[in-house]
Amino acid sequence: MARNAKEAKNILTTGEMSSDFMTANFWALFAAQMVLKSSLKQIWTVFNTLQIVVALPLLKVKMPANVLGVINQFNSIVNMKLIKPEKVYNWVFAPIMGKTAEEVSEENFVKG
């Protein structure tokens, strides 16, 4: 049982690392394209390829668990969830409002 849990953790770690790499790659290409003022064709090609990869499980093809783990991590990129709202709030609004995102969510939880 411990071995399966360790393997599952390794798969999740690999998926997270792949997701982080692809996110960094996406933003690096985006920044490079903006700086160089050339077409965004390469960025959209990467994005469209990721969409195809994420849609593969819909074909009902048997895939190994590690491939499915990596595909699940790519979902955040394909769904354009590249920046976590909590980080944006803490960076932009926390200095103004004097509260972190966690404090605001705790207040809303207590009120709700």
Q: Given a cut of 50, is residue 1 above it in pLDDT? A: no
What are 56's two structure tokens? 């593969």
pLDDT-derived band at 108, boundaries 50, 70, 90:
low
**Domain residue ranges of the chain, discontinuous segments joined by +:** 2-81, 83-112
What are the pLDDT digits (tens) for 43-52?
778 888 888 8
Angle between helices 85-92 and 101-111 (to 10 degrees): 110
For 24, 72, 91, 106, the CA distances from 15, given in Å and listed in that order, are: 14, 8, 27, 30
Q: Check if the beta carbon of residue 23 is closer than 8 Å to that of residue 77.
A: yes
Average pLDDT over residues 16-39: 78
Q: Tell me the per-residue pLDDT of 44-99, one tens digit each, with 9 for 90 and over.
A: 788 888 888 888 888 887 888 888 888 887 877 777 677 777 777 777 777 777 77
**Could you tell me which residue, 102 or 29, shows the higher pLDDT?**
29
